[in-house]
Amino acid sequence: MPIKVPDHLPAKEILSEENIFVMDESVAYHQDIRPLRIAILNLMPTKETTETQLLRLIGNTPLQLEAVLLHMKTYTSKNTSSEHLESFYKTFEDIAHEYYDGLIITGAPVEQMPFEDVAYWEELKEIMDWSKRRVTSTFHICWGAQAGLFHHFGVPKVDLDEKIFGVFPHIVEKRNVPLMRGFDEQFYVPQSRHTEVRREDVERMAELEILSTSPDAGIYIAASKDGRQIFVTGHAEYDPQTLKYEYDRDTAKGLQIAVPKNYFPNDNPELAPLSTWRAHANLLFSNWLNYYVYQQTPYDLGAYI
């Protein structure tokens, strides 16, 4: 939450320069409060796991949220039961006439296919176009980020020689941006990708800025300068066991997969993995919800979007 201070207090300028959020009394007085409406477009096969991971993170805020789960109408999930989807999910068609304060588009295990071969690509393009008109800020994760960067900005995804797999150190590139508030100089994030977006392709787009990168894993966070589109290539939301699950799964299938880096103690898969990214994940999502959703969205949704 912002610190509310008298309009001309000298500390206000110092804290603002430190990228601490300070709000004038006059602005605070005019804030109206209502629950935030957040839609989660869940493209993951492991839908129940992903729901839990994301709700845990967005629930870590004093703000009231109304979360709506979405799945694709034009694709039939193999790994999630239709009972679960019918009970808890809606489709885009059900909500297309509404406005949302925030939208999260998850990753999906389709990154090695051309975008056009993904069965729900047309529906996803429609949702991404809609998000520009009806959502205050959209948070794209992993393949969702690649899809958004490609669709909105023509940034291609590029195959990697080897999967980036493990928990890597990341750094802040643009410190004076609200999404980065309170980030450590170096922090850890799980990455699990066979593809990447290249720095030069993102830098070519004047509307985008690169906020955080990793020497090992490349671009981590890019965003539109107006904050309405956030693209995150890593999986801050992953549970401590998720990379282990992916490693065991691929090993059992006989795939050539390296042990995830910086994850198991001594890189020994027999030992229980250590979580080193949870604090970062909480900060990333609460910064997004606070500064890009709550502080920006109009009280009357749809009033200016």
Ligand X SMILES: CC(=O)SCCNC(=O)CCNC(=O)[C@H](O)C(C)(C)COP(=O)(O)OP(=O)(O)OC[C@H]1O[C@@H](n2cnc3c(N)ncnc32)[C@H](O)[C@@H]1OP(=O)(O)O
Ligand Y SMILES: N[C@@H](CCO)C(=O)O
115 binds ligand X (CB under 6 A): no
**Could you say which of ligand X, ligand Y, none residue 294 binds, taking C-beta under 5 to 8 angstroms by partner kind?**
none
Please report how close the Cβ of residue 44 comes to ligand Y at its closest, in angstroms. 9
Query: By C-alpha distance, which of 135, 226, 142 is closest to 177?
Result: 226
**Is 44 among the residues that bind ligand X (CB under 6 A)?**
yes
Considering CB distances under 5 to 8 angstroms, the limit depending on partner class, which of ligand X, ligand Y, none binds residue 80? ligand X
209: which 2 tokens?
A: 């800025």
> At closest approach, how far in Å is the CB of 250 from ligand Y?
7
**How big is the CA angle at 10 (ends 5 and 14), to the nearest 5 degrees?**
95
End-to-end CA distance of the chain: 24
- Smallest CA-to-CA distance from 220 within 148, 141, 298 is with 141
For residue 217, give the DSSP letter: T
Please list every residue from 214 through 243 that binds ligand X, using CB under 6 A. none
Stretch that binds ligand X, among 116-124, 207-215, 255-263, 292-300 (CB under 6 A): 116-124
Residue 251, SS3 per DSSP = helix
Query: From the candidates 142, 152, 196, 280, which is the catalytic residue?
Result: 142
Cα separation of 184 and 173, whole Å?
12
Q: Which residues bind ligand Y (CB under 6 A)?
A: 109, 111, 192-194, 246
Judge contact between 189 and 221, C-beta under 8 A.
no
Residue of minimal CB distance from ligand X?
A: 107
Q: How far is the CB of 196 from ligand X (least distance, A)?
A: 10
Note if 170 is an active site residue: no
- Closer by beta carbon to ligand X, 28 or else 255: 255
SS3 (DSSP) at 301: coil
Determine the Cα–Cα distance for residues 169 and 232; give it in Å rounded to an integer: 15
Under the binding rule (CB under 6 A), the answer on residue 77 touching ligand X is yes
Please say if 142 is a catalytic residue. Answer: yes
Position 108 contacts ligand X (CB under 6 A): yes
- Examine the residue annotation and report whether 235 is marked as an active-site residue of this protein: yes
Q: Which residues are catalytic?
A: 142, 235, 237
